[in-house]
Structure formats: C-alpha cells, structure tokens
Amino acid sequence: MNNTIVKTNFNFPGQTSFYKGKIRDVYTINEEILVMIATDRISAFDTVLPEGIPYKGQVLNQIASSFLDMTAEIVPNWKISIPDPVVTIGKLCVPIKVEMVIRGYLSGHAWREYRSGKRQICGVAMPEGMKENDRFPQPIITPTTKASVGHDEDISREDIISQGLVSEDDYKYLEEKTLALFNAGTKYAKNKGLILVDTKYEFGKSKDGEILLIDEIHTPDSSRYFYLSGYEERQEKGEKQKQLSKEFVRQWLIENNFQGKEGQVIPNMNEEFINLVSNRYIELFEKITNQNFERGDVSNLLNRVEDNIMKVIT
C-alpha cells in the first residue's frame, strides 16, 4: 500500500548512524539527537509481517507522545519534540538491554506459559488455580532480554544482575519506575473505561548517565487493554475478554498456523484484514485519548515526513 511507511531511506545532514528496529527507523544526528520514525510495520511473535497498516505509526507516535508528557514527573524521558505525526525527536541514549515487562493479569505469553504447566515466569511465582485473564494479586515484573535480531527471551531479576546486564542499583530503580508507571497507566485507563492488562517499558542512559524512559509507552503495540465494562461478568462465564490490543493479530496468526516458528509460513494479509487492523488501532487511540483521530495527509507520505524533519534539524 502506498499510503503506508514500511521502510525509510533518508540521508539527513549530520547523520551518523541508522538503526532499523522491528517497527521504528532511528536516525542519529551529530551524535546528539535521535530522529525516530514510527513506521506502519506490524510485528507479532518477533516477526515483522509483510504488509503495512495504514495510520498505525501515527497512532503509536501520538499515544506515546501523550503518555511521555503525562508521566514526565514520574521518570524523565528522551522526548524533545514531535515535528510530524509519525516522528519523535529526542535525546541520544544508550539503550539498556532489558525490557521491563509488567503484568497485572494472566494473559498473552504469561497465560500460554501457565497453560503449559509452568508456575514461574522470569523467576516470579504465579498462583495455582488461575484461569486466563484473571487478575494477579499484585502486578508482576517479567523482564525480557532485548534482542536486536530474533526472539526476546524471558530472564529473571537475578540473572540480569549476575550477567551484568544492569547493575543492582540501576535495576532497583527500573523496578521502582516500572511499578510507578504501571500504576499511573492503570489509573488513567480506568478513567477511560479500560483495563491496562500488561505493558513494557524501555530505558536508556543519556550522555551524562541519567536513566531515561525511551521509545514508546502505553501504546497498543507495547500494551494490552481490556474493556472495563463487563470484565467481571465475562470472567465468571469463562468468555473471552473484549480487548483493544495487538493480541487479536496474534490470535489470527495462531489460527492460521503461524507462531514465528521455523518452517512456518506467514499467512496472507488481505486488504479487508489490513483495514480491520488499522481501524482497531484508531479505535484504541480514540478510546484512550478521548479525541477524534485526525488522519494525516498520506498522499506523499515520505516527502511529508522528510520535510518536517528537515525543518527541525537544519
């Protein structure tokens, strides 16, 4: 689709490096700032799917920007400005190679592990007798290694520290801020009629050694949301929860025999399904922000993005 960004190939003045993540393209300028472009790529099971999702990058970038502003008093973050609906310009940081995943409910990956018989995840015990989407007695932190290629791997607090991925003092800080951010996100979601089920936070260190929140926060790519209304009734009846997240894409892939395993073939994403995914992302934006989503002009999308970035960095 020519109204989506699935790759970029810019060459900005002062550009010193380029990094392509699963979803974001990141340009380093003068070893001082990062230009992060939220593309319309979509990934699941650590696999980037072949088709772009219209307006997905805009949804992610604008939700993340809003939450970065809202949580800046809890933990400082990398954001400087938003020159384009899909672009964030921020401080250059060295990423901490651990993603701080926090779960309030037994869903997604945690449920799949639990269903297979495991009662620990990342060294954290999960109570017996739980069913899918039950609330944990208290949120649990289940970190993963941040792989540049391939699958992220579950890892315990003890292994993170013993392997020297993060110092003990820094990890305590990450735990404290992860819990505080999740509590703030939970309260905000509840006010919007949603449940923040689980999410992940990424951190990095600035040139002066300060730990900053980086990348995205509380977006449908990094988080899972249920509708609050009817949650208890659906749990009692053993029904699936009504949710706004990327999980329905994972479920669609599972139903079509794909979980990112060797030898499996990515199923074809037809236009109807792509538009359904796009509408889901827009629905979450409107639900969580209480704003109408204003679609950016995509008639010449890459030129628009490049022009808006150039206005800021030159």
Please write the tens of the pLDDT for every residue from 153-206.
999 999 999 999 999 999 999 999 999 999 999 999 999 999 999 999 999 999
pLDDT in tens, 137-167: 999 999 999 765 556 799 999 999 999 999 9
Residue 220 is predicted with a pLDDT of 84
Tell me, which fold does domain 15-94+269-313 have in CATH? Phosphorylase Kinase; domain 1 (3.30.200)
Give domain limits for the chain: 15-94+269-313, 95-245
Listed in sequence order, the residues at least 6 apart from 17 whose beta carbon sits closer than 8 Å to its beta carbon are 27, 28
Distance CA 182, CA 74 (A): 11
Quick one: pLDDT band at residue 284, thresholds 50, 70, 90?
Answer: confident
| Per-residue pLDDT tens digits for 220-269 | 889 999 999 999 999 999 999 998 778 789 889 999 999 999 999 999 99
Domain spanning 95-245: CATH 3.30.470.20? yes
Banded pLDDT at 1 (limits 50, 70, 90): low
DSSP 114: H
Q: Which of 88, 83, 35 is nearest to 60 (CA)?
A: 88
Determine the 3-state secondary structure of 232 from DSSP.
Answer: helix
Q: Please provide the average confidence, as pLDDT, over all residues in the chain.
A: 94
Residue 8 has pLDDT above 60, yes or no: yes
Site of tokens 């020159």: 83
| Amino acid 221: pLDDT | 85
- Report the pLDDT averaged over residues 104-119: 97
**The pLDDT of residue 67 is above 90:** yes
Q: What is the pLDDT of residue 149?
A: 55
Predicted confidence (pLDDT) at residue 7 exceeds the cutoff of 90? yes
Helix/strand/coil for 37: strand
The burial of 312, by beta-carbon neighbours within 10 Å (0-12 exposed, 13-18 middle, 19 or more buried), is given as middle
pLDDT band at 18 (very low <50, low <70, confident <90, very high): very high
Over range 10-19, report the average pLDDT: 96
Look up residue 26 and give its two tokens: 């990141």
∠ CA 255-112-52, nearest 5°, is 50
DSSP symbol at 259: S
